[in-house]
Amino acid sequence: MTALLSIRDLRIAYRRDGIEVPALKGVSLDMEAGERLAIIGESGSGKSTLALAVAGLLARGSEIDGTINWKIPKSQAPHSFALPSVLPDISPTRGEISSSAAGSPPATPAVGETDRDSSISPQVGEMSGRTEGGAVERQPFHLHDRPLLLGRDIGFVFQDPSSSLDPVMPIGKQIAEVARTHLDLTWREAYAKAKTLLQRVRLPDPDSALHAYPHQLSGGQKQRVAIAAAIAAGPKILIADEATSALDTIVQAEIVALIRRLVSEDGMTLIFISHDIALAASLADRIAVLRRGELIELGETSQIVNAPQQAYTRALLDAHLGLDAEPQLDRQGTSA
Amino acid sequence: MSVLAVTNLTKRYHRGGKPFAAVDEVSFDVGPAETLALAGPSGSGKSTIARLVLRLIEPDAGRIDFEGANFLALSGAALRARRARLQMVFQDPLAAFNPRATVARVLDDPLRIHGIAPRSERPHRIAALLERVGLDTGLAARAIHEISGGQRQRVAIARAIATRPSLIVLDEAVSALDVSVRGQILELLLDLQRQERIAYLFISHDLGVIRAVADRVVILDAGRIAESGDARAVIADPQSAVGKALVAAMPKLIRNRP
Ligand SMILES: Nc1ncnc2c1ncn2[C@@H]1O[C@H](COP(=O)(O)OP(=O)(O)OP(=O)(O)O)[C@@H](O)[C@H]1O
Ligand SMILES: Nc1ncnc2c1ncn2[C@@H]1O[C@H](COP(=O)(O)OP(=O)(O)OP(=O)(O)O)[C@@H](O)[C@H]1O
Ligand SMILES: [Mg+2]
Ligand SMILES: [Mg+2]
């Protein structure tokens, strides 16, 4: 079986004042359709960078090397999608989304030419890539005649929930707009869908919440709205960057159950970024551990949790603050 | 005497045309160098209490005493002076800063505005603050949007401690941090508390974290206090329905240790 997502030797550096700051140093990873992958690692290890890169959302000016290939099958088995209407216009003759960055192997069906020195800055939803010194326009994340679309192909929940919400638009309209744009619905249908989605993410009183502005919601409520917007068009891939970090355990458990259902019933593929290793383990088939831009360990969840190969992974497991263990913090102040 | 005492605090909003109390007659106090945690489900009123205590919004009823003074009666210069003693670290570090400002600028502001250090001393102070929160001093020149989420949160903590406050309100300040950094930050907070006798109003939905850092906990439900008491005792054996539900839903890490 071919991988849905194939990442080879991905290197990403941010450029600041002419200096390159490496964020990912040669990451390779494959994902199957329908798989649930968790990415864990310490702050600054490159988790968000990896997530943004695979969604084609990296800021312009970042240096990318290596390849990211998406292969989305042109027809899904009918039972594998609960919402077939969600994917109305993937062209039947062209079923492959692929992307290629500089240095991609010739076998990769890249759009545009590969050019060793060029840097790309994929922007999902925008037709133009960056042009380098008069070279061909790059559209690295591309389904031959259209880019990989945020919302329709990939749902992205950003680490910072307010950055995905428009502060001056009622939240019902924000969700409805995603559904309307990608699912070809009328406004009335889109609003009905928005309300259903708010129910699915367990927002209290969805009727009045439709008319609320982001500042009128609590942190956890905003996070749930961001999740609702991300899944509104029934994307095949959901990338959730710390999407449940502001939620209490009760709502978190409900959101995790919702994500599980989306994966099993709607055939969604999940990339779940979390600093909470227990949460990651409860949701993922496999866990990838990033450290300082490198993928230091990747394995089945049970292997990572029970038989980690790396000391760093063990340290992450030991640092988990559960209710069962004695907290390791020194509260009595002997160290002054 | 307590650093902060809140009495019958009430804040109402409208939802679907009807008024409802986001915070409903809430009373608690925080002693010097004490950590009081506020826990409770999403939407239970935790952040609203934080905003009220910081006077970012005004209550409909109730009283707030800070360092022995009626905080709601202060205004102008007296309020500004008192505010240096009351700092905050929020859930969402990006929203708290201008993303284009450099880290150095973010830390320079409080030192300058509150006259903490003369200009010549500030670069040194900034470097010391960064080291204090476990950040490389080289980060000083970077823009806020050019550092990771966890790094930003550490900058926010560095800024909060810059003015030597007596109370810091932390709203989900460690929720987005990975466990290793979170452990370091919690250690740092406890260390600062011991050395400088800072009190914390520590808001978190994470009972594991609360159990590790808080002396006492108040559990809120729909704007009201459901129960309160010694943090570890309450979490070990919650009495209220909401406390029981929060504990039962904790994700558990089941490991077969070799
Ligand atoms: N836009 C940017 N410009 C420059 N450097 C950046 C930018 N975004 C991130 N970095 C740097 O790249 C590295 C990886 O950051 P990234 O945000 O991917 O980490 P992360 O694992 O998601 O961390 P966290 O858990 O704190 O969110 C960090 O050193 C960070 O400072
Ligand atoms: N400006 C506002 N206008 C109307 N309702 C508001 C406003 N601010 C907060 N609310 C409502 O008040 C209630 C309490 O919100 P608050 O932000 O205090 O919750 P919280 O306990 O911090 O939740 P979370 O854990 O999700 O951050 C919520 O139902 C929220 O929707
Ligand atoms: Mg991140
Ligand atoms: Mg809140």
Domain boundary among the residues B143, B164, B185 is at: B164
C-alpha distance from B194 to closest chain A C-alpha (Å): 7
Cβ contacts (< 8 Å) between A317 and chain B: which residues?
Answer: 253, 255
Do A336 and B172 count as a contact with CB atoms less than 8 A apart?
Answer: no
**Domain identity same for B62 and B13:** yes
Rounded to 5 degrees, φ, ψ at B92 are -120, 90
Report yes or no on A332 lying in a domain. Answer: no
Over residues B148-168, the pLDDT tens digits come to 777 888 898 899 999 989 999
**Domain identity same for B170 and B241:** yes
C-alpha distance from A250 to closest chain B C-alpha (Å): 5
Closest residue by Cα to residue A109 from A142, A136, A131: A142
Domain boundary among the residues B120, B142, B164 is at: B164
| Ligand 2 centroid – CA B48 distance (Å) | 6
Rounded CA separation B189/A151 (Å): 40
Report yes or no on B94 lying in a domain. Answer: no
**Domain identity same for B9 and B77:** yes
Nearest CA to ligand 1 atom 18: A46
Report yes or no on A326 lying in a domain. Answer: no
Report yes or no on B20 lying in a domain. Answer: yes
Report yes or no on B198 lying in a domain. Answer: yes
The side-by-side arrangement of strands in the sheet containing B4-15 is B18-30, B4-15, B61-66, B69-70
Rounded CA separation A197/B11 (Å): 29
The amino acid that residue A141 corresponds to is F
**Domain identity same for B58 and B182:** yes
Do A247 and B205 count as a contact with CB atoms less than 8 A apart?
Answer: yes
Q: Which are the contacts of A105, defined by CB distance < 8 A and separation ≥ 6? A: A8, A67
Range of the domain at A191: 5-319
**Domain identity same for B50 and B132:** no
Over residues B119-155, the pLDDT tens digits come to 899 999 999 999 988 889 999 999 888 887 778 888 9
| Structure tokens, A44 | 């600054």
**Domain identity same for B12 and B67:** yes
Do A319 and B179 count as a contact with CB atoms less than 8 A apart?
Answer: yes
Q: Does an H or E element contain A257, and which?
A: helix A249-266
Report yes or no on A325 lying in a domain. Answer: no
**Domain identity same for B173 and B193:** yes
Ligand located closest to B40 CA: 2
Pair B172, B205: CB distance under 8 Å: yes
Atom of ligand 1 nearest to the CA of A50: 18
**Domain identity same for B178 and B122:** no
pTM for the whole thing? 0.77
Rounded CA separation B223/A45 (Å): 38
Report yes or no on B90 lying in a domain. Answer: no
Report yes or no on B220 lying in a domain. Answer: yes
Q: Which are the contacts of B77, defined by CB distance < 8 A and separation ≥ 6? A: none
Range of the domain at B135: 99-164
**Domain identity same for B126 and B237:** no
Domain boundary among the residues B116, B145, B164 is at: B164
**Domain identity same for B50 and B159:** no
Number of folded domains that form chain A = 1
Number of folded domains that form chain B = 2
| Structure tokens, B200 | 């914390």
The whole-number pLDDT of residue A1 equals 58
Rounded CA separation B119/B162 (Å): 14
Report yes or no on B130 lying in a domain. Answer: yes
Q: What is the CATH number of the domain that holds A26?
A: 3.40.50.300
Task: Tell me the pLDDT of chain A (336 aa) as tens digits.
Answer: 568 899 999 999 988 767 788 999 999 999 999 999 999 988 788 999 999 999 888 877 788 899 888 887 654 433 222 222 222 222 222 223 344 333 333 333 333 333 332 233 333 322 222 222 222 223 344 443 445 677 788 999 887 776 778 888 999 999 999 889 888 899 999 999 999 999 988 888 899 999 999 889 988 888 889 999 999 988 989 999 988 877 788 888 888 888 888 888 888 999 999 878 888 998 999 999 999 999 999 999 999 999 999 999 988 888 776 666 555 455 544 333
Rounded CA separation B236/B252 (Å): 15
Report yes or no on B116 lying in a domain. Answer: yes
